Amino acid sequence: MSRLSKHHQKIIVKVGSSVLTDEHGRVRKKILKNIAQDIAVLKNRQIILVSSGAIAIGKRLLNIKNVELIEESQALAAVGQLELIKAWKAAFRVHSIDVGQVLLTPKEIQTTKDAKNALKTINQLHRYKVLPIVNENDTTATDEIQFGDNDLLAAKLAKTFKADLLIMLSAVEGLYESFNDQSKQSTLIRQVSKVTKDIHAMAGKASKSGKGGMTSKIDAAKIMLSMNSNMVITKGDADDPLLRLKKPVQSTWFNK
């Protein structure tokens, strides 16, 4: 199934730092507006929004250029998270949709007890007709803060939530044969049914703007395929980034 359909009722939308913020760490409000508009159309489905961007925003607010220590990133996340959730709240207010913030680390949803607690909170937000906005708890995370850009968190959350679809809104259209050279000569892989060594090799190294790049997205895809669910990597700056997936568009779908 290489398109968004009515069978996808439990959806996780993950938005990366490089999509949400510009090179100066400013929130790209038009992107948030477009995503909110599409989620408003799909609001009868159960949707979780996983949003990165807190550290990038924090760097701008405090005028910090280089970050070397974990505690520096944690402090920047604490500052940036406030503006990030404020921006999302403003984007969804137009559609009369309330949002709720849920901060998690991958470790917190790996244990059965913690996973159930997270799921209870998210389910209750859905019952209240509130959109859960999840971010990695960068202010307390240690190892996790160094990589992933929420990609693995989104996939592990999808497993707990038993999501039908994980939508990765990325800075690129999908997985290319030669990821470091997205020229016209580099072929976009439209569909992947199994993550092989060749697929991993195509992923290349992490991007500069995000912490995870394509490699962590491929790791996330393995999790989704293992539970017979779908994942798609698609460009996040389209006017209708989610609804356009109802038709065949430039993107990479992972499904069996």
Would you state the pLDDT for residue 201?
85
136/1 Cα distance (integer angstroms): 29
Interval 42-86: pLDDT, tens: 989 999 999 999 999 999 999 998 888 888 988 999 999 999 999
Interval 162-219: pLDDT, tens: 999 999 999 989 999 875 555 555 789 999 999 998 898 888 744 444 445 888 899 9
Would you state the pLDDT for residue 181?
52
* Residue 138: closest CA among 86, 84, 91: 84
The bridge status of strand 98-104 relative to strand 10-15 is unpaired
pTM of the model: 0.92
> Do the Cβ atoms of 190 and 254 come closer than 8 Å?
no
Mean pLDDT of 142-159: 75
186/177 Cα distance (integer angstroms): 6
